Amino acid sequence: MIKSGFVSIAGRPNAGKSTLLNTILGEKRAIVTPKPQTTNKNIQGVYNDLRGQIVFIDTPGIHKPKTPYGEYLNKQAYQSIRGSEVTLLVVDASVEYGAGDEYLFSRLKVDHPLIIVLTKIDLASPIHVQKVKEQWTQNYPDTPLIEVSSVRNFNIDALITLIFEHLEVGPLYFPLPEDYAIRLENYINEIVREKIIMLTREEIPYSVAVVVDHLTESDTKVEAYLTIYCEKDSQKGILIGKGAKMIKRIRLQTQYELSKFLGKDVLLELMVKVEPLWRSDPKILKKLLG
């Protein structure tokens, strides 16, 4: 099992909700225009990564209704919010706080975690963003607030991390992408390589190949056995280090980073092997390149 949950994207018309969804998904799921009331029904978009699954619901903008149609739009949004585990309150940080925001604030009732997302910060001065921020912090003290720009893809990863912090382990609502297991392997592999590059001298990084030999994953733990192939005994010596200190540092730093990202315990076994011709060894290349 993984972390999962429904997350509503709510806010005033034209705030930038659909653009945020599209940026998160990396595809055009919801239409976007400069006009308010572009989204007229709840739109679902499923986000998967190694930490879990988020089912986003992009909702119509909440506004003071003047027609039955307007009431219908608001109702769609309220319905989605009621059924969510987390709600993102998307605020256009480039415009002044006004009556529309007050209306939204008076109507929005959530019985679950709320995250305030100030968006379009690429259009506003830092002073203006600060003013909007202060107003919303006053409205919702002790509520997490994050500044993003969908157009610039700024802070979107941090927003996803923040959402996962508020989600619990839950069911899988939609099948995971077929390459999920490979993605996890690749990710572990990348982090090990990053630590090797950061911790060892120049010649080492280009001489090594990291292969995940075995991987198991449960709700709370990831265990993996990896082999680091290098070309010479001297390189093996550097990778292991005096008293095995280097390999321990590589392992501990990788475990720390992975477990922070995945929200699980991570246990790694790292082996260093000399394989002068690993670049030509079909077995290693197959493991490396799939």
Does residue number 226 form part of the binding site for ligand GTP (CB under 6 A)? no
Residue selected from 74, 97, 104, 120 as contacting ligand GTP according to rule CB under 6 A: 120
Query: With b meaning 16 or more CB within 10 Å and e meaning fewer, what string describes 33-56?
Result: eeeeebbeebbebbbbbbbbbbbb
Determine the residue type at 101.
D
DSSP letter at 121? G
Q: Which is nearer to ligand GTP, 98 or 276 (CB)?
A: 98
Residue selected from 7, 8, 10, 19 as contacting ligand GTP according to rule CB under 6 A: 19
CB 18 within 8 A of CB 97: no
- Dist CA 70 CA 77 (whole Å): 11
Determine the residue type at 179.
D
State the nearest-atom distance from the C-beta of 139 to ligand GTP, in Å: 19
- The DSSP code sequence of 136-160 is HHHHSTT--EEE-BTTTTBSHHHHH
Neighbouring CB atoms inside 10 A of 11's CB total: 27
Does residue number 39 form part of the binding site for ligand GTP (CB under 6 A)? yes
> Which residues are at the interface with Mg ion (CB under 5 A)?
17-18, 38-39
Q: Which is nearer to ligand GTP, 20 or 239 (CB)?
A: 20
Q: Which of 221, 261, 194, 289 is nearest to 49 (CA)?
A: 261
State the nearest-atom distance from the C-beta of 211 to ligand GTP, in Å: 41
Q: Which is nearer to ligand GTP, 9 or 222 (CB)?
A: 9
State the nearest-atom distance from the C-beta of 61 to ligand GTP, in Å: 3
Subset of residues 145 to 184 that bind ligand GTP, contact rule: CB under 6 A: 149-151
- Dist CA 250 CA 236 (whole Å): 13
Contact pattern from residue 40 through residue 79 relative to ligand GTP, giving x for each residue in contact according to CB under 6 A and a dash for the rest: --------------------xx------------------
Does residue number 16 form part of the binding site for ligand GTP (CB under 6 A)? yes
Binding site for ligand GTP (CB under 6 A): 11, 13-19, 32-34, 36-39, 60-61, 119-120, 122-123, 149-151
